[in-house]
Structure 1
Amino acid sequence: MQRVLSSYDLGRKLRHLRLRKKIGLVDLGKHTGLSASMLSQLENGKLVPTLPTLARIAMVFDVGLDHFFTNRTKRSLCSVIRAAERMRFPDRADAPSPAWFFECLAFSTQEKSMQAYLATIEPRRREEVSDHVHDGAEFLYVLNGAVAITYAEEEIEMKQGDSAYFDGSQPHGYRAMGSEPATAIVVTTPPRL
């Protein structure tokens, strides 16, 4: 949870507000009822503020809570996600034997126009593949191993270096061919309006 909140850069936004109004930590503490030490820790990202704490600070600066959770400046987007920061999830939380595992490659990036995943696809027989659908397009690039994509009731075999682009609203599923898992990069996009 702390990693998700840290992606909003709350401390930097708080410090920017305070410096713009030319208020010291002690004076801000008097207005908010928070200690200067706590405010310093919030600004430096050593402490994650609670919602009531943010609300008190927002009231002092006469901004809404949305100030802390939106990006008001339009700037070039560059978000780096370190390998150690990613989390691995099964295809379904309740699956006793998941068909694949995925890691969101840009989980903390705000205002994404696409989703990118590292997928580890488990070996299965064709009849064990569960199809799924979603809005938008999907792109899959096989990093290693062999993958069979079931798409619109057809199975397409793919090897390392092969890629596929398709409409995600059509039933599709994956399986690793052979006895070893395969890995792939999967990118999905929202539907075009």
Structure 2
Amino acid sequence: MDDQIKQIAERLKGLRDVLELDPEEVAKVCDLPVNQYLKMESGDSDISVSVLQAIARQYNIPLDVLMFGEEPRMNTYYITRQGAGISVERTKAYKYQSLAAGFQGRKMDPFIVTVEPKDNQDIYYNRHEGQEFNMVIEGRMLLDINGKKLTLNPGDSVYFDSNLPHGMLALDRKTLKFLAIII
């Protein structure tokens, strides 16, 4: 996990170097204080998918390049076989498995997200441009969207404005698995 965060951090720094950007410019795109962005870029802090997506959109780079270090190549279709999607564990509690990593020019980013239960019931909030769709596959989810707490069970889904602060927890001390589509 830490190794994956370090690799993403190296790609962020490399991108900034190639584009000759100041840390302040990239931090502004992410709506973060510069010191917080620099912690992410150094690999000392977790990097949320929403931060990566903001950078990818701003600088017209496929999200896959930042997350996985691979350029998408397919443009007609892309199949992800069960359990075979490229994945990254951003933290011990979250694992993102991309379902369309090889398709170039995507209009959305679909993931299977696995969230492990944790003793600490603090919710980590994020927000990002666009909209998001979540459908619970396994376990139960507590989803907080802008202060509104929703409980989702297997088969339940929600579509929401991802500009609003949102975060989730796995309930019942069991692993949560859900489909997330970020548009």
TM-score when normalising by structure 1: 0.52
Unaligned runs of 5+ in 1: 1-68
Amino acid at match of 1:88: S
Distance across 2 between alignment mates of 1:150 and 1:125: 18
Rg (Cα) greater in structure: 1
Instruction: Deviation per CA, 1:69-93: give whole Å up to 9, x if none.
Output: 989xxx8x32212346422212x3x
- Where in structure 2 are there 5+ consecutive unaligned residues? 1-71
Q: Structure 1, residues 81-128: CA drift from partner, whole Å, max 9, x if none?
A: 2346422212x3xx4xx3321101000101111110001122246742
> Match for 2:163 among 166, 169, 173?
169
Aligned to 1:129: 123
Q: Secondary structure of the residue that 2:117 maps to in structure 1?
A: coil
Residue pairs, 1:63-142, within 5 angstroms: 77-83=76-82, 85-90=84-89, 92=90, 95=91, 98-124=92-118, 127-142=121-136
Q: Which amino acid aligns with 1:150?
A: D
- RMSD value, Cα: 2.3
Q: Which residue of 2 aligns with 1:143?
A: 137
Give the distance between the partners of 1:179 and 1:119, measured in 2 at CA.
16
- Check whether the contact 1:139–1:188 (CA below 8 A) recurs between aligned residues: yes
SS at match of 1:89: strand
Identity %: 23
How many residue pairs get matched? Answer: 112
| 1:152 matched to 2:146 | yes
Instruction: Provide, for residues 139-182 of structure 1, a one-character-per-residue CA deviation record: whole Å limited to 9, x for no partner.
Output: 00001110010110222111011000001111111111011111
